[in-house]
Amino acid sequence: MRFPRFAAPTLVLVATSALAIAACGGSVPTDLFSDPGADSGATADGSSGGGNGGGGGGTSDASFESDASVPTDAGTNDAARPVDAGQVGIPCGTDVCAVGSVCCANGAQAPFQYVCKAKESECAETSVPIACNGAEDCTGGSARICCGDRVFENGRTSYADVTCRSTCNNGNVRFCDPKNAAASCGQNGRCEASTILPGFFTCL
């Protein structure tokens, strides 16, 4: 059987008519030959959708510093808070000992135990008697430096006592209040948490 010769021209005519109709349709595009999903990110005005702010110049959350970059206050704890700048007294656990008395810091067992006593001799043998925590506590005569008498025993570093002195040399350490560091450490000095006596601070 032979097919009529007008079959092919008829198909061409139909396809041509379809294209002509689509061209006359104005702003309504046909998806017949378009790439599916090509405009999925486009907005009505032709700009690409970029969320809030649209353009690529916005800052993502990933550019902010994480909490891990914030330095921690590992040298302090709630049991031994430093007193406010200008307040005369010795921090001693949850208490503040009056100047003239001592704070007995017992580190025989962790964590440190703190208790106020009237004088050094009342502290336990395993305690460090602390009579000041910065120069603001040292107001009598020439003994204006709060100094820790550092000792080395059995491979450990500790303090025999912390008292007001006129000098603080030979490996001894100046104690300071971090809120009034200049009084003990000078204008350029640093007042950092003690690694030996938690809750107290020393000059670097």
**Is residue 142 in a domain?**
yes
pTM score, whole prediction: 0.57
**Is residue 50 in a domain?**
no
Number of helices (H), then strands (E), belonging to the chain: the values are 2, 10
Which carries the bigger pLDDT value, residue 196 or residue 141? Answer: 196
**Is residue 195 in a domain?**
yes
**Is residue 194 in a domain?**
yes
H/E element, 7: helix 7-23
Q: What is the pLDDT of residues 56-98, one digit of tens each?
A: 444 333 332 222 233 333 333 333 344 444 457 899 999 999 9
Q: How far apart are CA 99 and CA 149, in angstroms?
A: 19
Beta strand segments in the chain, E:
90-92, 95-97, 102-106, 113-117, 127-130, 145-153, 156-165, 173-176, 191-193, 201-203
- Tally of domains within the chain: 1
**Is residue 47 in a domain?**
no
Q: Which amino acid is at 24?
A: C
Tell me whether strands 127-130 and 102-106 are parallel, antiparallel or unpaired. Answer: antiparallel
Structure tokens at 171: 């490996």
Which carries the bigger pLDDT value, residue 34 or residue 122? Answer: 122
Which carries the bigger pLDDT value, residue 161 or residue 25? Answer: 161
**Is residue 49 in a domain?**
no
Please count the other Cβ atoms lying within 10 Å of the Cβ belonging to residue 168: 19
**Is residue 65 in a domain?**
no
198: containing domain: 90-203
**Is residue 13 in a domain?**
no
